[in-house]
Amino acid sequence: MSREISNELKKLTKADKVIINKMMSYLYTKSINQFELKNMQAEIVGMAAEGALRGESLEAICGPDYKKFCDELSANCIHKRKLELFLEVVMILSLTFALLLPIMYLMELFLGYPGHVNGVLLSFESAKLFGIVLVPAFCGGFGVLIYQRNSFAKKGKAFLLYSLFYFVAYFILRVISEMIFHEEITINVLIAAIVTVGLFLGSFLIKRAIASARMKAKQAG
């Protein structure tokens, strides 16, 4: 978030800030170009700030149907391509792995779970890799999208849908992984950390470059 947007937000009422947060959460699920999304945020905040000067709320400006307003606002925007979505998945998985791998290593050192340690080498059943890293990343990622997609739903509904999806999907995928994967794998924690951080940064930079190039092409056209 830019400093200008941040300063404008400080001038708004709490109610308008809540609405803007819900709008941005919903718009994020529409796979919009990240620079286009930033421009939309600036536009919405600007509308709210101008309305505040006139004594109008954001609801009075946009109308009560925020979902319809967001759909109309994003109708002609740039959407992410499959490569950009793939890079986002790589970012989520690599970041999750980079964060949880040291935790798994420390858990083994102090609790004897999920496998055994030999120096910087961590060995454990492949099912635990799925159960501790990949399954939570998948369930959490899609769960958040479900939550954000229902940003304008009645209070509590979005969280209920998120919780329901997460626990049902986690249980099913965890059971399947325990049934299929039994091989023991050994990971060099230092090398794995370097590789996963590198994957995250590389995916982030490539995705950002693609989004920037597409935004510039639209502005030039």
- Please state the separation of Cα 177 from the chain's center in Å: 24
Domain boundary assignment for the chain: 3-73, 82-220
**pLDDT, tens only, 123-151:** 877 777 777 777 777 777 777 777 777 87
Report the pLDDT value the prediction gives residue 58, as an integer from 0 to 100: 86
Q: What average pLDDT does the segment 84-106 reach?
A: 86
pTM over 0.85: no
**pLDDT, tens only, 193-213:** 899 999 999 999 999 999 999
List C-alpha distances in Å: 23 to 13, 73, 108: 15, 11, 43
Instruction: Label residue 153 left, alpha or beta by phi (over 0 means left) and psi (-120 to 50 means alpha).
Output: beta
Mean pLDDT check: name the lowest of 76-85, 141-150, 168-177, 183-192: 141-150
Given a cut of 80, is residue 5 above it in pLDDT?
Answer: no
Report the pLDDT value the prediction gives residue 221, as an integer from 0 to 100: 67
CATH number of 3-73: 1.10.1900
**Mean pLDDT over all residues of the chain?**
83
CA pair distance 52, 67, nearest whole angstrom: 21
Given a cut of 70, is residue 1 above it in pLDDT?
Answer: no
Confidence of residue 115 (pLDDT cuts 50, 70, 90): low
List C-alpha distances in Å: 4 to 14, 38, 166: 18, 12, 36
Confidence of residue 114 (pLDDT cuts 50, 70, 90): low
CA pair distance 133, 177, nearest whole angstrom: 12
Q: What average pLDDT does the segment 49-75 reach?
A: 87
Q: What average pLDDT does the segment 178-191 reach?
A: 82
